[in-house]
Amino acid sequence: MIEVILKKAQRTHSLEKNEIIQLLKEPFYINCPLFCAADKVRKNYVGDDIHLRGLIEFSNYCKQNCHYCGLRKDNKNIKRYRLTEKEIINVAKNASEQGYKTIVLQSGEDLYYNVEKMIYIISEIKKFDVALTLSIGEKTYDEYEVYKKAGADRFLLRIETTDENLYENLDPEMNWNNRIKCLTDLKKLNFEVGTGCLVGLPDQTLESLADDILFFKKINADMIGIGPFLPNKDTPLGHLEKDNNNFELAIKVMAITRLLLPDINIPATTAMATFNKDGYKIALQSGANVIMPNITPDKYSKLYEIYPEKFSVDETPEKTLKTTLDIIQNIDRTVSKDYGCRKTNIRN
Ligand code: 5AD
Ligand code: SF4
């Protein structure tokens, strides 16, 4: 039965909700039929190259209050920091000299970086030979448009969950429909758009995760990042136990996403690597083709504490890169030398 569903997915890249749920119920083990199928589709459509994106976490201030996240504004136990515009540009410059072809600028929703500051940062970074991804939260259509014109190429905004009630319970001051609007606006503006979800939130069901996957397909996302939920004690969900099932389920969600969106970019996420010491490797062999090594200066990166014991938090950016390259070599994959756009988006 599972074989029939996997054959159909590999042939048509589409599945019914009940078929996705069946796949999510399959036992987790390395090289299980689901992961082998996802790995095959990955190889056929995006090849053996792995794209490295240098991640700069430039501010941990956030005006939002998501129940799961350590950067939430009510968390008084976190030391806040901001990189100056010059610092950000400098980190990006060094990364481009090290060979990174994509820079990702990530922060909490921090109004300190107004439009003028962001335009400056974007246009300076675009002088280096890199693609630029923003991950800075919900903005207006006009603001997104200005950033696109300034040179930003891609934008990451996870839907977190497609269950509207769950979303608004966990992100009390946020509006699910506005998040959808942001994603639609970004698509309209021709950004390469990344979204994704958390896996293992309280009250989240397999039905709901299947809806998330179908949503990724429906909006034709260019990138999907899946994060297994890790409880952070300084948040309202801090009483929950770390649950390894979240990791296993997240890898399954990722593998099914690869089956349905065969040519997109899918990272092995930091949360996966945090859960399991072989998290990157397992993800890269179950559908993923991207890693986002952290290039934030050391003293700041350990303060970007969305969840505890973040992978690579005690390492320098150089050591993180070395660890990443070792993993890639170890599984006979190669490092991409191009910008790593979605294959179908490359226009000659
Ligand atoms: N565990 C795992 N991922 C988390 N994120 C926020 N809090 C957690 C957590 N406790 C993810 C969200 C957000 C991204 C920046 O971090 O999906 O989009
Ligand atoms: Fe802020 Fe994003 Fe964390 Fe929510 S998930 S508190 S918006 S950084």
* Cβ of 69 less than 6 Å from ligand 1: yes
Contact 28, 138 (CB under 8 A): no
Distance 256 CA to ligand 1 centre (A): 20
Query: pLDDT (tens digit, 9 = 90+) per residue, 258-268?
Result: 999 999 999 99
Ligand nearest to the CA of 240: 1
* Token couple for 152: 């930003």
Query: pLDDT (tens digit, 9 = 90+) per residue, 200-221?
Result: 999 999 999 999 999 999 999 9
* Cβ of 226 less than 6 Å from ligand 1: no
Contact 6, 38 (CB under 8 A): no
pLDDT score recorded for residue 343: 81
* Cβ of 105 less than 6 Å from ligand 1: no
* Cβ of 157 less than 6 Å from ligand 2: no
Angle between helices 2-12 and 17-25 (to 10 degrees): 130
CA distance to 11, 50, 134, 312, per residue, from 277 (Å):
33, 19, 28, 11
> Phi and psi (nearest 5°) for 331?
-105, 20
Contact 170, 64 (CB under 8 A): no
* Cβ of 66 less than 6 Å from ligand 2: yes
The answer to whether residue 347 scores a pLDDT higher than 70 is no
pLDDT score recorded for residue 320: 86
Query: pLDDT (tens digit, 9 = 90+) per residue, 17-41?
Result: 999 999 999 999 999 999 999 999 9
Question: Which among 309, 303, 306, 310 is positioned nearest to 79, based on CA atoms?
Answer: 303
Strands (DSSP E) along 187-344, which ranges? Answer: 192-199, 223-228, 267-268, 290-291, 334-335
Provide the whole-model pTM.
Answer: 0.97
Query: pLDDT (tens digit, 9 = 90+) per residue, 85-127?
Result: 999 999 999 999 999 999 999 999 999 999 999 999 999 999 9
Distance 103 CA to ligand 2 centre (A): 20
- CA dist 120 and 104 (Å) reads 16
- CA dist 150 and 340 (Å) reads 20
Q: Which residue has the least CA distance to atom 2 on ligand 1?
A: 229
Percent of the chain with pLDDT over 70: 99
Integer-rounded Cα Rg, in Å, for the chain is 19
* Cβ of 229 less than 6 Å from ligand 1: yes
* Cβ of 137 less than 6 Å from ligand 2: yes
- CA dist 261 and 325 (Å) reads 26
The answer to whether residue 346 scores a pLDDT higher than 80 is no
> What is the atom index within ligand 2 of the atom nearest the CA of 70?
3
